Structure 1
Amino acid sequence: MAAHVTKPILCFYIGYADNLSPGATAGAVLYGAELATVSLAEQLAQFYDVHVFGPSLTNSNHNHVRYRSSHELDAFQLSNVVDVMIISRYVHYFLEFTNRARATYIWLHDVRVHPYWRAMVLPQKAKHLLENQMSNIDGLIVLSPWHKEEVLAHYDVDPAKVFVIGNAIEPERFTPHPIDAKVPNRFIYTSAPNRGLDVLIDCFHEVRRAVPDAELYVYRGREGFTDELLATMESCAYVHFRGATDNRVLAREFLKSDIWFYPTSWPETYCISALEAQMAGCACVASDLAALHTTVGDRGVLVPGAPDTDDFKARAIAEVVNLLNDPTRKHALQERGRAWAAQQTWQARAIEWLTVLGSATR
């Protein structure tokens, strides 16, 4: 009879993120950092006994990952040897818990760490807290080369402790079916409304004049939308607001779409939406800003300048219309983006994580 092999223990602390417990997320939509946490946890569960802790979580197990309330975290660390602690976003962890992990990493999904704790903002937005803890931290995980530059410019930390590991997707969600055939000139938007949807709609009226069958589909929960923006969409026959959509259904909507147009001023640290768009074979037109420089790069069209200016809008509209009128170029970008995105899997990212984690725990 084979001996039972006990896996090392790896924990995530997710702070004030939404409830990721399976019962709470069944049929729900996960965005950005939450989607990344669940995906990475399930991959690492092949190698670790994985536990995800957070104040909003209820105790449950799913896909070999255990979700637990962080009210149990101190007791858990006292009664178990935690080999790796991954702190997602919220460095108030160091104020709220005694850290007993053998190796500790901070996973930055945003430009900087989240400074929030118990309804207040920590002094200097937690800058000093992070820097004072660096001797107890084995690494900061950032999402792109641009993100690393920003972190090193803002925090006094050892560059050797900053590791770039991007986000990823599940390519199998983007396997096209006959009913998912692309609709020419169909646009898709899935990000938070404050990341450029107003600029997109402003531009889209002009795109529509040049391309009369262009249609825009917006998939996002109503939270964050102003009444004015909702009214604008409702009054426009060629802008379709579809609300929150399950991630697997959303993948099929991406597959039907032709163009991902993202005139944002938001400093994306990675942008999973851009990756999803490329995997679905959408041609991408976006701001030449932050991590979009690498997540989209030369596989799409990047427009320089400030999105709220007339100059940017005119240039972006021209780029979109030119692309729609040049099917050969559009198809080449779509194929290039799809080929690259197919390599950005969570299996591949898990290997990158294991390389970093192994250097600290062996």
Structure 2
Amino acid sequence: MTAPVSVCLIVRNEIAQLERCLASIRPHVAEIVVVDTGSTDSSQEVARRYADRFEVYTGCNHPNGLIRSFSDARQKSFSLATQPWTMWVDGDDEVVGAEHLEKLIREYDVARAGSASLVTMPYEYGHDHHGNVTCIHPRERLIAPREEFRWMGRVHEVLTPLHGDVRQHTDLVKIVHRRDSSGKKVEHGRNLRILKEQYADEGEKDVRHLYYLGMEYGYVLDPSESPHDRKTRILTAIGFLSKYVDRSGWDDERYNACLLVADHFISLEMYDEALQWASKASLINEQWGEAFFTIAKCFYLMAHCLKRDVFRNWNRCIHYAKHGLSLPPTKTGSFLSPLLRNVDIHTYLNLALTSVGRVDEALESVREGLKHWPDDKNLLFNEALFVDHLAKMKIAEGLSTLVNTGKMSPAVRARVDQIVSENHADSDRSVQADPPIQAVSHQIQAQPPQTIAPRLGSGVSDIVFFTGNAVEKWNPETAAQHGIGGSETAVIEMAKRLVQRGCSVRVFNECDGIEGTFDGVQYVDYKKYGNLDCDVLITSRRPSAVDDSHNVRARARICWVHDIHCGPELTHARAIRIDRFLTLTNWHRDFFLSHHQCVHPGQVSVTRNGIDLARFDRQHVRDPKRAVYSSSPDRGMQVAITVWPLVRERVPGAELHVYYGFKTWEACADDNQKVLIQNLKKMLKDYETAGVVYHDRVSQSELADEFLKSGVWAYPTWFSETSCISAMEAQAAGLFTVTSPIAALNETVGPRGAMISGDWLSWDYQSRFVDAVVDAMKNDDPLRRKAIQAYARSHFGWDSLADEWIDILSDVVQEASDRVMPPYKGVL
């Protein structure tokens, strides 16, 4: 029994695939309608043999014969249909599973109960040479009654309901696009031509038009195009897609638009911009892996092409690629390429893994990619290379055991090494038993795995932190009870996590009278620092800790920079003695190097700060009208307090809660600063009636609770933050952030917050700051808050940072061991 369906096609020169298409549906439907828009081959003859209704229609074309509107042609085909249900396909499609239509329609008729109904089916739009689907998305295919629907859009046309409809989806019937094998010639740039015509006529009336313009501007391929014209075209595509992201309400397609923008920036070798757009996509939907694959790709390219923070960016690539792979496969109504997950990401991941010495995992990645592309030459080459390398490593380990136990002489071991490395027994040449690996993937070469330093725990076990004197005594207990500054918090958190990873850790700080062991870390008063040995010395802020006078013997010396620079304490002599400087953001690195001309760029790595994510797991009732200020009073409190009455005028009941003390500032303040401190304290008192509530400094646990109760993090600042832990905590709590695009705030907050540019003391700045705070309070969006929290969880945790440090510390120790002299940079 055939289904009561009219299957409608519009065709032009489809002879290569048309008969296959029509044959796949003819036995299963009551009616086939074909509208020919101007074929010059024998398509019309084939169509007439199968079609119940056939017509040539050229009203959809320009006078020169070029297609003007596909929706016009499709609407014409629908007007000829007579059956209760109507379905559409193209002449170069094949319908798989059409035998199910009759049973499905009986079910759909019951379900719709007389209402309009629309059924989507999978559309396999592209395939590779293995038959793998490269692009799939569900499309609207089957409707009833057709009078309740209208075709919209001259190209990339969609079937739109005029009123409400009952939505159904089936996987029993799918449409497979066969254009790749049809050999059909298509007008070059056709879609872009039509879209530009429609844009000229209608402007930006339909927001999806912007998306399609952005797509098509990016898809144009013209071998004669100059580099300048290509860049102009791609930036035009980015402009349309950016507008679409801002204006559209369909998150699935906004997500894809962000990734298209990221891909365009990658093609222009603008990797930082690409990273921002991929991150924006991850905020739209943190449960889809494709954004994380693009983020991983960006970090790969930063390491490989820019040679920037190479070791850290390899590890970032690995982290985000594996995170994306840990998520379930994406299901969406928009376009999707399964090969991004199944193959593409592995072409980058296996090389990043190899570059940090994780060859066994690289082999797993290669084999995962080969499941879907079994004849890929690069993946096959890498597989053979990795198998060979791992086999030789096992042999080398076995030989070492035999030598160490006296079962084999070193001379015999050397001969076996030679045989293994040469792959035959006759050569007399002496070579290394473990030659470098150079893996290839899309012209990508990995570093030799055997040069990667061992993991912590096999040679790096004794770590010393030096923080020196401070305004107040502290240890982890006092910090938990009363709070502490960001750099001290960082030392506490990293020290205990390095202990958890098998290290012995001592911290020399201001703790006379409160020394002790906390979380396995030994806290010793800084005055006892000296005459000691360790594997790694990490001095927080204080380059003088490396001076010979302390008699501290370390395999590697690291200066962890928390301020924007180290000041005059960092001399040329001390810079030479320090193996690595750790800065907190890319901005921080660049500023630090510009200030300290004596430091070689190769000595500087970018790490980050972190936060204790567990403090933000608790549940509280959130008040969107409650804002917090939690930074040092001198960095923005004055403006935050001054503008608060203006916020309160527009948001009745709005409160600003201030969490920070004056003790540290007062201890080192000059006379002018003491006057400013008194003025700020008076402002806090005077503005109590305007909704300003002062709490002084509180414990970290209490501060997290207060953040979770609030809606907005308000930080109008002039200060050049190197990282800003408060901004991280605000995002972990799901606060909407309003601050200034200064220094590292562009990275720590970036596109996830409202960034108010300008002079913080100017009326213009303060007026726009008030607008942003009011907007954040009035437009509460729980989904956006969850997305911000998800970003914080994947980017700001101490545990993931400790894992990164394992690699950094091992790398530094290995480099220091291999290097005869440190990098030298002369100064004038």
Match of 1:88 among 540, 545, 549: 540
Q: Is 1:44 matched with 2:498? A: yes
| Contact 1:61 1:67 (C-alpha < 8 Å) held by counterparts | yes
| Contact 1:27 1:246 (C-alpha < 8 Å) held by counterparts | yes
Q: After alignment, is 259-268 or 227-236 more displaced?
A: 227-236
SS at match of 1:74: coil
One-letter amino acid of the structure 1 residue matched with residue 803 of structure 2: I
**Correspondences of 1:43-82 after superposition (within 5 Å):** 43-46=497-500, 47-57=502-512, 58-75=514-531, 77=532, 81-82=533-534
Corresponding residue for residue 338 of structure 1: 789
| Counterpart-to-counterpart distance in 2, 1:136 and 1:291 | 28
Q: Give CA-to-partner distance per residue, 1:129-179, whole Å, 9 cap, x none.
A: 1x32233211000001110110111112221211111111111101132xx
| Contact 2:737 2:754 (C-alpha < 8 Å) held by counterparts | yes
| Counterpart-to-counterpart distance in 2, 1:26 and 1:289 | 30
Q: Give CA-to-partner distance per residue, 1:108-130, whole Å, 9 cap, x none.
A: 001011x5xxxxxxxxx224x1x
Q: 1:167 to 1:126 in 2, by over 3 A?
A: same
Q: Is 1:356 matched with 2:356? A: no
Match of 1:314 among 738, 752, 767: 767
* Identity among equivalent pairs (%): 32
| Contact 1:144 1:165 (C-alpha < 8 Å) held by counterparts | yes
Q: Is 1:139 matched with 2:556? A: no
One-letter amino acid of the structure 1 residue matched with residue 498 of structure 2: L
| Contact 2:463 2:503 (C-alpha < 8 Å) held by counterparts | yes
Match of 2:643 among 200, 203, 219: 203
Corresponding residue for residue 351 of structure 2: none
When you count helix as a share of all residues, which structure comes out higher? 2
Q: Is 1:175 matched with 2:631? A: no
| Contact 1:299 1:333 (C-alpha < 8 Å) held by counterparts | no
Highest CA radius of gyration, 1 or 2? 2
Q: Is 1:228 matched with 2:679? A: yes
Q: CA deviation at 1:201?
A: 1.1
Q: Give CA-to-partner distance per residue, 1:200-227, whole Å, 9 cap, x none.
A: 1112121111111210111122424722
| Counterpart-to-counterpart distance in 1, 2:768 and 2:480 | 42
Corresponding residue for residue 601 of structure 2: 159
One-letter amino acid of the structure 2 residue matched with residue 67 of structure 1: Y
Q: Is 1:148 matched with 2:600? A: no
Q: Is 1:187 matched with 2:634? A: no
SS at match of 1:265: coil
Match of 1:27 among 475, 481, 494: 481
Corresponding residue for residue 109 of structure 1: 562
State the Cα RMSD in Å: 1.9
| Counterpart-to-counterpart distance in 1, 2:802 and 2:542 | 22
| Counterpart-to-counterpart distance in 1, 2:773 and 2:510 | 44
SS at match of 2:564: coil
**Correspondences of 1:237-276 after superposition (within 5 Å):** 237=689, 238-276=691-729
**Correspondences of 1:288-303 after superposition (within 5 Å):** 288-303=741-756
Corresponding residue for residue 118 of structure 1: none
| Counterpart-to-counterpart distance in 2, 1:15 and 1:333 | 42
Ranked by relative contact order (alpha carbons within 8 Å, sequence separation 6 or more), the top structure is: 1
Q: May I ask how many residue pairs the two structures share in their alignment?
A: 338
Q: CA deviation at 1:72?
A: 2.7
SS at match of 2:543: coil
Q: 1:71 to 1:15 in 2, by over 3 A?
A: closer
TM-score by length of 2: 0.39
For structure 1, list consecutive stretches of 5 or more residues without a partner in the other structure.
Answer: 116-124
One-letter amino acid of the structure 2 residue matched with residue 35 of structure 1: T
SS at match of 1:148: helix
| Counterpart-to-counterpart distance in 1, 2:541 and 2:720 | 16
Q: CA deviation at 1:196?
A: 0.2
Corresponding residue for residue 98 of structure 1: 551
| Counterpart-to-counterpart distance in 2, 1:148 and 1:272 | 17
One-letter amino acid of the structure 1 residue matched with residue 685 of structure 2: E
SS at match of 1:27: helix
Q: CA deviation at 1:233?
A: 1.7
Q: 1:217 to 1:56 in 2, by over 3 A?
A: same
Q: 1:352 to 1:307 in 2, by over 3 A?
A: same
| Counterpart-to-counterpart distance in 2, 1:160 and 1:23 | 38
Q: CA deviation at 1:24?
A: 4.3
Corresponding residue for residue 13 of structure 1: 466
One-letter amino acid of the structure 1 residue matched with residue 645 of structure 2: H
Q: 1:326 to 1:6 in 2, by over 3 A?
A: closer
For structure 2, list consecutive stretches of 5 or more residues without a partner in the other structure.
Answer: 1-457, 666-675, 815-828
Q: 1:52 to 1:259 in 2, by over 3 A?
A: same
| Counterpart-to-counterpart distance in 2, 1:305 and 1:64 | 47
